[in-house]
Chains A and B, each alone.
Chain A
Amino acid sequence: MKIRVKTFARFRELMGTKLEIELPDGSTVRDGVACLVSGDPTAREALFDEQGHIKNHVIVMVNRRRLPNREREAEGLHEGDELAIFPPVAGG
């Protein structure tokens, strides 16, 4: 299945923007994020902690809905979903 990916700010510089990734059916948010940083140790270190979990301060949205930290890694992705990943915001 194809997933559209949006990244912003520092993460955009690391991973580019308007990406599309191809994942096996049944993949989760964690699989999607891991796919984005595969082969790039700097990006992997920015997004994952030493235990292999998405870092707490990394914000993940699926279809423009922010996922709570506890549940997000297991959230299922579906064909055509928009996965957005970004660092803490700094507007205002």
Chain B
Amino acid sequence: MIRISREDFDLCRMIREAKTGKTGGFVSFLGTVRDDGIESMDLEVYLEVAEQELAAISDEAFARFDILSVDIVHRVGRLKVGDQIVGIVVGASHRRAAFEACEYIIDRIKESVPIWKQEHTPSGSRWVPGEH
């Protein structure tokens, strides 16, 4: 399951639903809103491209690593400190491939999925600089 969502998600449920008899382990990544002196943040998305890019990243992970499942949820909209931003669950027969694929996926998301963060602080708002 690959999706962009305004709603929160349950990482444990993502793992439960990805389980198969062949899976030997899961590696998950959970990104949350860090308190950098902010009150909240807005995540803006180029929806059509973000969905297509997440699917492409999942395809790349399957091509590069010996894995069995990839599930990604990325939230958009208004979030506050501590809220969940992104959840990734990778299932594989063996742990090394799952670790490597999960790291690959979050690195690729940060570099190419068109989502931007605007942080709101008591003294004003600022866009988080992207990676380039």
Contacts and interface: CB of A to CB of B under 8 A. Distances in A.
A86 interface: yes
The secondary-structure label for the interface of chain B is mixed
Interface string B92-132: 00000000000000100111111111100000000111111
Interface residues of A, number: 18
A90 B52 contact: no
Task: Bin chain B's interface residue count.
Answer: 20 to 34
B130 A89 contact: yes
B67 interface: no
Contacts of B111: 89
A87 interface: yes
B107 to A, nearest CB: 8
23 contacts: A6-B46, A9-B118, A9-B127, A59-B114, A61-B49, A84-B49, A86-B116, A87-B116, A87-B127, A87-B130, A89-B111, A89-B113, A90-B115, A90-B117, A90-B127, A90-B129, A91-B50, A91-B86, A91-B115, A91-B117, A92-B85, A92-B109, A92-B115
